[in-house]
A and B are shown apart, each in its own frame.
Chain A
Amino acid sequence: MSDSNDSRSASLKPSGSASDGEMTRRNFLRTTAVAASGVAAMAAVLAPLRELADFPSLDQFLQKHYQEMTPPEMEKVLERIAREVERQYGLRPHVRDLKPMSGVEFVYCLNLTRCVGCRKCVHACVAENNQSRSPEIQYIRVVKMPNGTFDVEKGNHNYAPETVPQKGFFYMPVQCHQCKNPPCVKVCPVKATWQEADGITVIDYDWCIGCRYCEAACPYWARRFNFAKPSIPKDKINPEMSYLGNRPRPRGVVEKCHFCIQRTRAGRYPACLEVCPTGARKFGNILDPNSEVSYILKNKRVFVLKEEVGTLPRFFYYFDV
């Protein structure tokens, strides 16, 4: 080691050589060789950084927080998103920013007596909400539970039998519970996630810094992180988009179920409900006494997952008998 240091200092200050103080041809060649190979090694080690090239544009960088944007500013942002989607996926989306409706608070009810664990909701959700197909991001996790317990530790989400349901088990799909007291909102250091007036906890994907605190805080394992740039086949894009909902997400942000905000704020049922072959999923406005969910909460036995953690979910499990 000391030897090499000595000789390097010798080459930098070639006092011992014949050509004292000046750059000889040999000196030049060997220094260049070392420098070039050093640069090559440096370039090789930095090569992974090339993947970071998807920098935001200037107006995206200077964009305000969702709650501080004026309607004209939002118009511009929606236009930018539409342009960006068209550039990447080759089709013009219909991007909207739907606001909560007054007198509406959403509640979801899921009938554990009826769910057969077919996972169709999982994939309808992926298709509706433009989730990354590979790597895979799914908002709903269907847990196969042995009869007689609600301990999710005893559950398994990797079941793959020929047919479902299997005897001796029940199936419990878990997704964002849209809590009234959401721990994920409390931990966000930049206020990129918040609860809207209709009870949906939303994320501003342009404000999220990807710290994943919310993912750690959620007791329902509802949040997903985009480790890679989401990949969605061009023919699978759902062009009906909303700012807080299913517009394509960048890499490095968190996303989760938002009760299909682009559908439900337009009066429609969420995609997971529409696809459920058993009709186990029910959705509606809890402030409307005639809605399905009001009937369920009044008349059925209802179970709240992890009630003891005090998150006050707007997602209820119920039973027929």
Chain B
Amino acid sequence: MSADYKTTIVLMALAAAFLALTEAFRLNLWGRVEPPAEVAIVDPFFTNTMTVRTNAAALIRMDGDTSGQDCYACHDKAKPPQVKMNEKNEVVLPEEHNDLVIQHGRNRRNDHCYNCHDSANLDHLLTRDGHRFKLVESTMLCASCHGPTYRDWEVGIHGRVSGYWDRQKGPVTKQDCTACHDPHSPAFTTLKPAPGPHPLHPSPARVQAKGEAVHE
């Protein structure tokens, strides 16, 4: 076998090896890390700054549809409606008010309509000590029982305050109690949580071990 022939064989083998390497690099056989999966854009619901509910006061202020709030569309102005009670001394709602959930206070301690509503004037509110308020002033009615919370609300540390921390630069907006609390069932509602953090490189072993994705 001539030296020249041998050289040709070796060089061709080298060229083949290089080409194989090229293809291997191109196909990424050694695993440069795959880019992580695309993260979906979060639902705009989670970035809007609305309060959790729309209260009657806000509807009245923005001239919204308040037709559902007109008590005397059904009730008679001349005689205040009677509140029915069952044998456990709980209020029994008439069918027309079935959309209300009465859960104010532990064990529905504060479930009587006329604890807050004015029987003589149904679209007004009446405190226990006889102060009468319009629906848009409901916060003052809440304050008549929830003193410490009202104090915190007044200085701006209970409830939502938005706008300007620097009062010289701009105003702040405070919310009514009823913008976040349903007055008939005031415990703060549960919410759907926004998506959690996505793992950069989910490793199947660790995901299985912890039962959920791990963020490095």
Contacts and interface: CB of A to CB of B under 8 A. Distances in A.
Given A120-B46, A277-B51, A10 B7 contact: yes
B191 A163 contact: yes
Interface of A: 3-4, 7-8, 10-11, 14, 16-18, 26, 30-31, 33-34, 36-38, 40-41, 43-45, 47-48, 101, 109, 111, 114, 116-120, 122-124, 126-127, 133-136, 138, 141, 156-165, 227-228, 233, 236, 264, 266-269, 273-279, 282-285, 291-292, 295-296, 300, 320
A236 B8 contact: no
A320 B157 CA distance: 10
A213 to B, nearest CB: 18
Contacts of B62: none
B164 A17 contact: no
Contacts of A273: 162
B164 A119 contact: no
Interface stretch (B64-72, B90-98, B122-130, B165-173): B165-173
B31 interface: no
Contacts of A127: 47
A187 B201 CA distance: 28
Interface in B23-56: 23, 25-26, 32, 35-36, 38-39, 41-42, 46-49, 51-52
B147 interface: no
A199 to B, nearest CB: 14
Given A160-B193, A267-B168, A279 B47 contact: no
A48 to B, nearest CB: 6
Given A273-B162, A292-B155, A161 B193 contact: yes
Interface of B: 2-4, 6-12, 14-19, 21-23, 25-26, 32, 35-36, 38-39, 41-42, 46-49, 51-52, 152, 155-166, 168-170, 175, 180, 188, 190-198, 200, 212-215
Report the 3 A-B pairs with minimum CB-CB distance, sorted nearest first: A267-B169, A37-B18, A267-B166
Contact of A157 (B41, B51, B196): B196
A164 B194 CA distance: 10
B18 A279 contact: no
A18 B196 CA distance: 74
Nearest to A285: B165
B152 to A, nearest CB: 8
B161 A279 contact: yes
A112 to B, nearest CB: 13
A264 to B, nearest CB: 7
A124 B47 contact: yes
B160 A135 contact: no
A267 B165 contact: yes
A156 B213 CA distance: 11
A124 B180 CA distance: 19
A14 B11 CA distance: 14
A274 B32 CA distance: 42
A100 to B, nearest CB: 13
Given A41-B25, A119-B193, A157-B196, A133 B39 contact: yes
Interface on chain A toward B: helix, strand, loop, or mixed SS?
Answer: mixed
Contact of A17 (B3, B14, B36, B215): B3
Nearest to B159: A279
Contacts of A134: 36, 38-39
A279 B215 contact: no
Given A11-B7, A30-B7, A160-B193, A135 B170 contact: no
A135 B12 CA distance: 44
7 contacts: A11-B10, A116-B190, A158-B197, A164-B190, A267-B168, A274-B49, A277-B191
Given A17-B4, A33-B15, A101-B166, 14 more contacts: A7-B10, A8-B7, A30-B8, A30-B15, A33-B12, A34-B18, A37-B22, A40-B22, A118-B46, A120-B47, A124-B46, A135-B36, A158-B214, A266-B169
Given A26-B8, A40-B19, A274 B191 contact: no
Contacts of A14: 4, 7
A268 B165 CA distance: 6
B215 A277 contact: no
B39 A278 contact: no
A7 B22 contact: no
Nearest to A124: B47
Nearest to B19: A37
Given A4-B10, A135-B39, A269-B163, A116 B188 contact: yes
Contact of B197 (A3, A109, A138, A268): A138
Contacts of A292: 155-157, 161, 165
